[in-house]
Structure 1
Amino acid sequence: AVESWTSEAGKSKDLNLAPGTYTFHEEAAPTGYLKVTDITFKVKTDGTVEVTNVGEKDSKGEDNKVVTNGSTVTVTDKDDDSPKAITFSKVNLGGTEIAGAQIKIFKGDKAEGTAVESWTSEAGKSKDLNLAPGTYTFHEEAAPTGYLKVTDITFQVKHDGTVEVTNVGEKDS
């Protein structure tokens, strides 16, 4: 390797490369992104850069964005859109998982259309789902006996597998 480094958020990496042909190879992608395919490029004698091959494809990456501007090459990783393991628990105020809640998960920010998942909660058990990155709504169709139904909860599954609650009922969280 002529150069190696670990990328940092918000920072680019400047290299002084002699004229010639090089390959950009990403060992590992940041969390939430797909690894970039190898990119072959040529540094010309005038200092400009020409991308010649991206992952066995001429000058275009199927999953990657490669842009050249004079002597600058910008490589953009594609978001990892694969489903993420998300765990749901229906608990009482004491934190104990309770049975009998009829729960539905809808794609989007409203509980309408066809649910992408539905189940009835069980005592002492959480529910694991695989959800692709995006916005969803947690809707309790019926509460367990002795409990009140919760308001709808809108949440976002991020590309890195984290979950962010974006709205609870009609109020912003």
Structure 2
Amino acid sequence: MLNKITSLYFTILPFITFITSFTPLILHGHIKKGMSKNFFIFFYINCLIFNFFIKNFNLYLLHILRRAIECLIFRYNHSKMNYIQFIHGIIYYIFLSLHLRDIEEINLPVFILLNVFQTLTHILVFRYKRFVYSHYFSEFLIYLYLFYIKKSKELFYNTMYLIIFILTSIINRNKKYL
């Protein structure tokens, strides 16, 4: 039953994201109302606690732990997300954990390299204000690699979701400069 719910979640995720792409529901960043993106840390802490209780200890948790640590290091000054995105983030990482709980054949050097790359892109974005979309690219590569390893329809739909979300985020961010 849980596998069916997880599958349904990932199946509808890209479609709902596409439908809401240019509505206030998905806008984030320099918006007036919402909650600080510093609350991203709750996505990762919640995910770590959830995985502890379901006794899931795999390399994906290394990625989640790294992201939690980065949330403590790289702080947002003004960037916000809306409350629906916050709820989605909590749910998203739980469903990813459920789907990835049996993944074992991750190539450690590749996965670590991709995670180091993402940390470097966060340094470029947060410290140097350079290559402002590079962190999206590195996130995409991590999940593309997970899809390559597991080859599931859920991770295929997750990849589609990421493409839509990233493109929408870039377009919406550039709108404020036009």
**TM-score, normalising length from structure 1?**
0.21
Query: Which structure has more strand as a fraction of its residues?
Result: 1
Query: Which structure has more helix as a fraction of its residues?
Result: 2
Q: Which has the higher contact order (CA 8 A, sep 6+)?
A: 2
**TM-score, normalising length from structure 2?**
0.21
Larger Rg: 1
